[in-house]
Amino acid sequence: MSDSEVMAPDALLQLLLDGRPRTRAELVASSGLARSTVAGRIDALLTSGLVVPSGDGVSTGGRRPGRFRLNPAARLILAADVGATHVSVALTDLTGVILGRLTTPLDIAEGPDVVLAEVVRIGRALLHGIGRADTDLAGTGVGLPGPVEHSTGRPNHPPIMPGWDSYDVAGRLSRELPGPVLVDNDVNIMALGEHATEYADVEHLLFVKVATGIGAGVISGGRLHRGAQGAAGDIGHIQIPGHTELCRCGNTGCLEAVASAAAIASRLGVAGSHDIVELVRAGNTAAITEVRQAGREIGTVLAAAVSLLNPSVLVVGGSLSQAGDHLLAGIRETVYARSLPLATTGLHVTTTRSPYDAALRGAAVLVQRQLLS
């Protein structure tokens, strides 16, 4: 059996993900697979329910050929975005369309047993709310607010996640939920979600999350770049010259200790991102000054990233990105001043188009790509 025949189910499903019905002949032409291979695979996919008939195509003489399309509701994906102070869980169909979602406050410091039990509870509640069973799940994607070793899916010395280091997140969830469980850090899944839903035609994208912490997700050549151990994009712990603030990682002068929402909130004497955003929107001069300066500090690091990676789109997300244009203005000011003209030619610096959905959609993309591989 050739490599192309082994990959046939993936190739056909990938073609059908756009929702457009196709005939067998069209699938043969688009996939480059043999007619007999396509026919056999279509029959198998029809039996599984992943593909369904969808009317007839145009006749070229004789009987009109049947068309087939993906059945996106055949299986469901559970997507979880675990934050420092919240858990968001959604159900999506196979194309990533969100069918239901629920967010609940929960401190990550409660530990993995408590937090992951809540993910399971919410997931089952969402399933049963639309009349579906656990067995309808194709898999589960999870984003965590800390470093994740890509090969194992286990948190690796996460600064704000006591009790989580090396915890087998996938193993814990797999005991209660069917299908594969895939785990990544929250910024990577936000980058995946933003890229898949808003910038699918962009080959090189840098997503930056500015919230309790700061991190980046790197899309290069249309694919998420994780690095050797999954630590690519950890810009929050790059040292900023002239700063000595103690970071929660144990080092001093880290970008996160200087310019994160937690750092700004501490200097302003408020609780967190929500309060900062409200102050900025109310025109508070001190808050506006802090946010813009944070943008400049972040821009200093991003200027180096732009020169190194040469993205065409730089997207700023996270809770602090909602503070009007002040954060973005500070980032743009430094990035364009410190990067060479060639690196910034055509560079689009903007805020996220999916402030509430990017992480959940990215978690679903993790599972979707696993199914297609």
* Sign for the pseudo-dihedral over CA of 341, 202, 277, 107: negative
Instruction: Determine contact, residues 158/145, Cβ cutoff 8 Å.
Output: yes
Strands 205-210 and 137-144: unpaired
pLDDT in tens, 70-125: 888 899 999 999 998 899 999 999 989 999 999 999 999 999 999 999 999 999 99
Q: Which of 65, 60, 77 is nearest to 17 (CA)?
A: 77
Q: For residues 85, 91, 94 and 96, what is the CA-based torsion angle, rounded to 10 degrees?
A: -50
At residue 117, the pLDDT reads 98
Q: How confident is the model at residue 4 (pLDDT cuts 50, 70, 90)?
A: very low
- Average confidence (pLDDT) over 27-53: 87
Predicted confidence band of residue 12 (pLDDT cuts 50, 70, 90)? confident
Average pLDDT over all residues of the chain: 91
Q: Is the pLDDT of residue 36 over 50?
A: yes
Residue 7 has pLDDT above 60, yes or no: no
pLDDT of 349 strictly over 60: yes
Are 347 and 314 a contacting pair, CB within 8 Å?
A: yes
Q: Give the model confidence (pLDDT) of 139-185 as tens digits.
A: 999 999 999 998 899 999 998 899 999 999 999 999 999 999 999 99
Residue 34 has pLDDT above 90, yes or no: no
Q: How far apart are CA 237 and CA 181, in angstroms?
A: 28
Q: Tell me: pLDDT of 351 over 60.
A: yes
Q: Which pTM does this prediction carry?
A: 0.88
